[in-house]
């Protein structure tokens, strides 16, 4: 693997937080438009779960970029906050899955097939975002080295947020290195 400079890393990572922030608005707006404004409550929980996870991603990547630039302040404070949102994000994601499932079990609770499909899609996306941030890096299409690693059969690596939280939670005798390996 080629040696990456801080500038290379910043160039690759800086757009992430902007993309996540834009998607907090664009994903729900697109789905509402796609449904022709006919969504019911079954879509609300999984859609809110996606939005929360995108906000978490926005804050994390912006904080990470600022840390790499040397103007991030106390990155560990942000990580503690994001870590504390882990359980609420999981609970909301699971509620979204139940909500979407209820739309299929009791079709009269939904606003129609589009509503049930969008609720299901949102639930799946929320689960994938949760895993991608708090457990395993699922996104491999935007970085050649990551994609080659995946194709080589080395599996999914621990997500960068999960690694940073792990370092943050190490006993205080360990050095607190919050960066990319």
pLDDT of amino acid 151: 59
For the chain, what is the radius of gyration of the CA atoms? Answer: 18
Phi, psi of 128 (to 5 degrees): -65, -40
Structure tokens at 12: 């690759």
Give the per-residue pLDDT at 118: 97
Percent of the chain at pLDDT > 90 equals 66
Structure tokens at 107: 């079709």
Average pLDDT, the chain: 87
pLDDT band, residue 108 (cuts 50/70/90):
very high
> With pLDDT > 70 as the criterion, what percentage of the chain qualifies?
81
Going by the DSSP 8-state scheme, the letter that residue 24 receives in this structure is: H
Kindly state the average pLDDT of the residues 137-153. Answer: 61
């Amino acid at each position: 693997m080629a040696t990456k400079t801080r500038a290379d890393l910043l160039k690759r990572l800086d757009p992430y937080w902007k993309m996540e922030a834009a998607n907090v608005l664009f994903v729900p707006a697109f789905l509402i438009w796609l449904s022709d404004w006919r969504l019911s409550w079954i879509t609300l929980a999984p859609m809110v779960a996606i939005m929360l996870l995108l906000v978490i991603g926005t804050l994390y990547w912006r904080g990470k970029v600022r840390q790499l630039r040397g103007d991030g302040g106390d990155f560990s404070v942000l990580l503690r906050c994001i870590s504390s949102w882990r359980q609420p994000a999981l609970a909301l994601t699971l509620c979204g899955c139940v909500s979407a499932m209820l739309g299929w079990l009791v079709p009269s609770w939904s606003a129609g097939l589009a509503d049930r499909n969008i609720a299901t899609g949102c639930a799946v996306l929320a689960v994938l975002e949760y895993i991608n941030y708090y457990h395993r890096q699922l996104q491999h299409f935007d970085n050649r080295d990551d994609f080659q690693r995946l194709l080589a059969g080395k599996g999914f690596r621990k997500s960068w947020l999960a690694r940073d939280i792990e370092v943050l939670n190490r006993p205080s005798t360990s050095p607190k290195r919050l960066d990319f390996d």
